Amino acid sequence: MFTRILPAALASAVLAATPLAAQDTDIAFALDWRFEGPSAPYFLAIDNGYFAEQGLNVEITAGQGSLDALPKVASGAFPIGFADINSLIRFLDQNPGAPVTAVMMVYDSPPFSIVGRVSQGISGIDDLEGSILGAPPPDGAWAQFPILAEVNGIDTSTITVEPVGFPTREPMLAEGNVDSVTGFNFSSYLSLARLGVPEDDITTIMFADHGVELYGNAIVVNTDFAEANPEIVTGFLTAVAQGTAAAIADPAAGAAAVIDRNPAGDAALEERRLQLAIDGNILTDYVMENGMGGIDADRFATALEQLTLTYEFQNEQDAALYFTDAYLPEGDVLMVGGQ
């Protein structure tokens, strides 16, 4: 059973009595992963005062994978989170009525990838058959791997799947214990390089380059909270768009904001990781033309069809349950790539 964060009547009374700009509203935001380059937009939104301008005091919590934020947000423990929309779709099918939906697409092109080593025999997608694939069970890329296999006719019975933990994923590949791993393009690639694997020995197989039409990660909200606090949600998304624009304009500043929260990190590495996410996942042609946050209905319909290739829905698909643009801010704030 899922509980409300704030009763609708009380929330409405508070919003009616107090202008949003005068509020000091605490918001707990659940990330999907640890503090790395791609999380820079949220930290810049704090450091540059974008959240504060919306009357929000945001606390960001690291996550443990693409599935991690969904139960946190659905349960009401966090009103807002960051999660893989495909995992959200399955979560809602398995938990009908759970109060969670996506409200802003961030990774217009999904970061799902398989990262392998040429020296281990992985130069491209055709080399996966007969190989050893390391996959963390909660990983978003692993969750969508069956679609990649189905679309490309990969015989998965020939692949030995080795369950691995996130901390051991790249080390096992670096040590040659597996031939490739599932992961996000901006994480596994650079983490492997940091372990000393020559970059010309690393192969990145992007799902999006091989017929997978899925979207990636999005901002998700507890729907009870959002319905009761629409101005807060729109204000949050406004600040996220501003933080994203700031990260695109100055990736070095974005990386510095991350390192302020993760002093053990490498600023140059996180700047590069952020740039990979910007170029490959955030600032797509669609976003350049239409702005950040929305989705294309036809593409989303195709994505839903692809999900049925390897997942048997218990309930009828309903796109309206998975995404809404009702809380997106209006105006040029979403044009994060400039015009």
The band of 6, judged by pLDDT with boundaries at 50, 70 and 90, is very low
| pLDDT tens figures, 69-120 | 999 999 999 999 999 999 899 999 999 999 999 999 999 999 999 999 999 9
Domains 8-109+214-334 and 112-210 share a fold: yes
| 3-state SS assignment for residue 238 | helix
pLDDT tens digits, residue range 158-172? 999 999 999 999 999
* pTM for the full predicted model: 0.85
What pLDDT shows up at residue 16?
Answer: 36
Instruction: Write the pLDDT tens digit of every residue in 270-316.
Output: 999 999 999 999 999 999 999 999 999 999 999 999 999 878 999 99
Phi and psi at residue 7, to the nearest 5°: -55, 140
Report domain extents, the chain: 8-109+214-334, 112-210
* Angstrom distance (rounded) from CA 259 to CA 44: 12
Is the model's pLDDT at 22 over the cut of 60?
A: no
H or E stretch at 308: helix 297-310
- Predicted confidence at residue 226, as pLDDT, reads 98
Q: Give the percent of the chain with pLDDT over 70.
A: 93
CATH code that applies to domain 8-109+214-334: 3.40.190.10
pLDDT of residue 3: 36
**Cβ neighbours of residue 90 closer than 8 Å, sequence gap 6 or more:** 143, 307, 311
What span, in angstroms and rounded, lies between the C-alpha atoms of 169 and 298? 35
pLDDT digits (tens, 9 = 90+) for 323-339: 999 999 999 999 998 75
Asked if pLDDT for residue 20 goes beyond 60, the answer is no
Q: How far apart are CA 192 and CA 165, in angstroms?
A: 15
pLDDT at 146: 93
Q: What fold is seen in the domain 112-210?
A: D-Maltodextrin-Binding Protein; domain 2 (3.40.190)
| CA distance to 21, 63, 330, per residue, from 55 (Å) | 5, 25, 18
Is residue 294 helix, strand or coil? Answer: coil
Residue 19: pLDDT over 90: no
Q: How confident is the model at residue 51 (pLDDT cuts 50, 70, 90)?
A: very high
**Rounded mean pLDDT of 197-206?**
96
The mean pLDDT of 123-141, rounded to a whole number, is: 94
Could you give the CA distance from residue 219 to residue 230 in angstroms, rounded to a whole number?
A: 14
Average pLDDT over residues 184-191: 89
What's the pLDDT score for residue 23?
52
Distances (CA, A) of 298 to 6, 77, 214, 262: 35, 33, 12, 40
Asked if the model's pLDDT at residue 24 lies above 90, the reply is no
pLDDT of 27: 98
pLDDT at 108 (0 to 100): 97
Average pLDDT, the chain: 91
Higher pLDDT, 34 or 99: 99
Q: Is the pLDDT of residue 34 over 80?
A: yes
Query: CB-based contacts of 334: which residues, under 8 Å, 6+ apart?
Result: 241, 291, 292, 293, 294, 328
pLDDT at 10: 32
Across the range 213-233, mean pLDDT stands at 97
